[in-house]
Amino acid sequence: MPVMAADHVRGDARIRRGGACDRPPGRPVVHCSGGHGARRGRQRARSATTPTAPAGRGRRAVIKAERKAGGPVLGDGFGEALKECWAAGGKAGHSYATVERDDGFLFTTDVAEYFDELDEHERHEQWVIKRAGGRVLDVGCGAGRHAIALAQRGADVVGVDTSPGAVYVSRQRGVRVLRGTVEEQGDDIGRFDCILLLGYNLGLLESCQKAPQLLSGLARKANVGTRLFGNSLNPAMTSHPDHLRYREENRRQGRLPGTSRMRIRHKNLATDWFDYLYLTPEELGELVVGTGWEITEIETEGQSYAVELTLTQAGRRSPTSV
Ligand SMILES: C[S@@+](CC[C@H](N)C(=O)[O-])C[C@H]1O[C@@H](n2cnc3c(N)ncnc32)[C@H](O)[C@@H]1O
């Protein structure tokens, strides 16, 4: 889910997207704080990818406590919003999701954008669709808009998504989808000619620590020559004071400045908190070093950009979680 938090306004003004933060001049491009060791414990405790609610009885206790306190119920907020929109024909004006950042910044979007036809996609995403093909893995496929556009152009697409609601909707729309993360898929999923991280899903790279693991894991679903397409907002292009403040706090906490810690709300539901990463192309270039991927093309559109990475060699890093 894009943070959708700022000053990027799409042509129809239906969607505002925003990024995280600027990098001050003179700083290293990728500044993973040297203080990681000291801070890691605290950061982990707050990490969004570490579920904030434990499994089983502990999880039920958290849900019960939130209900009692009148807070949101832990659940598939994004997927339920997609289901609601799908039931209304995928049309605008029926279903909304709100991104809540951990500084309290809120952004609401009409989820009908996730049902857009190809000619309604942002131009840099259309650029990707024209280049992708063959056997395609769509990571975080949502309601399947990119998978469908590519299948219509003759590609053989497999989606993966962690949201039960997204899996339900994209299957209803004819997309072959597997539930879960890429890391959870076995070798029988095979290897792909193209991999997609669209809808700003380069954000799933999450952090300096997670990015090489995910990229190396994706390299194992790929062959030399496979292309990975993703998009991001360039976080160095915002001047919004809330985001500038957030950037500074990220730095103070030892996180990349474009990190956005957030959860998705829909009605009384809220997902777990998670980290989503907005990167400058330079930061991305540094994060891919040693993973086997190289940036081969970039297409910019205002604050947004799409990137093509090509797998030039088997990944060398030894991931711990993939
Ligand atoms: C912003 S939406 C983008 C959906 C789609 N790519 C699009 O642009 O229409 C992000 C999607 O990624 C899924 N997602 C989040 N984390 C994921 C993960 N680790 N692995 C697979 N899917 C994930 C979410 O459930 C959601 O459907």
Q: What angle do CA 319, 307, 177 make, to 5 degrees?
A: 65
CA-proximal residue: ligand 1, atom 14 (nearest): 140
The pLDDT of residue 67 is 65
- Is the CB–ligand 1 distance for residue 258 below 6 Å? no
The pLDDT of residue 147 is 98
Of all residues in the chain, the percent with pLDDT exceeding 70 is 76
| Residue of 110, 124, 141, 322 to test ligand 1 pocket, by largest number of atoms within 8 Å of CB | 141
| Residue of 47, 163, 229, 233 to test ligand 1 pocket, by largest number of atoms within 8 Å of CB | 163
Rounded to 10°, the helix 123-131/145-152 angle is 40
Q: Which atom of ligand 1 is nearest to the CA of 181?
A: 20
Show the DSSP H helices in the chain as ranges.
Answer: 36-46, 56-68, 77-87, 123-131, 145-152, 164-172, 210-219, 241-252, 281-287
CA-proximal residue: ligand 1, atom 11 (nearest): 140
Average pLDDT over residues 114-120: 97
- Is the CB–ligand 1 distance for residue 231 below 6 Å? no
Give me the chain's average pLDDT, please: 83
pLDDT digits (tens, 9 = 90+) for 148-205: 999 999 999 999 999 999 999 999 999 999 999 999 999 999 999 999 999 999 999 9
Q: Domains in the chain and their CATH numbers?
A: 19-311 (3.40.50.150)
pLDDT band per the 50, 70, 90 thresholds, residue 70: confident
Report the predicted TM-score, pTM, of the whole model to 2 decimal places: 0.83
Strand 73-74 to 135-139 pairing: unpaired
Please state, as a whole number, how many other Cβ atoms lie within 10 Å of the Cβ of residue 44. 11
